Amino acid sequence: MTSQGFPRRLRLLKPKDFSRVFDHVSVKTNHRGLLLLASPNSLNCPRIGFVFSKRNIKLASNRNRTKRIIREQFRQSQHLLPPLDIVVIARRPLANMDNSAIHLLMKRLLPELKRQYEKQSCKS
């Protein structure tokens, strides 16, 4: 049986981790509600971090709900992703999306991130 947890090693926790992604973006994918930035890491697993401002999603309950949904989608598909540090940035339209729409959006954006990474790796 596989673990259903979300351990600390799969999260971007320190400001320098976020800065490294922002300074060295190698892959990005976007939607009107979300922007995903990623850069390769030296670990053997992907990690994720969130930048959700109160300005874009007013209610804390909505910010937390959205992060839970995205985190769960990431957890379910992490075995398919290359070793990337991913920063998820929320935009205003995300506040009006329902749970199923966010799930579908992440099911589309994470494989797109993987495709772009593989495409970039082939060029190098």
Summarised one tens digit per residue, pLDDT across range 3-59 is 567 788 889 999 999 999 999 999 999 999 999 999 999 998 999 999 999 999 999
Tokens encoding 39: 């850069």
Cα torsion 82, 107, 11, 6: sign: negative
Cβ 63 vs Cβ 95: under 8 Å: no
pLDDT at 123: 72
Task: Record the pTM.
Answer: 0.90
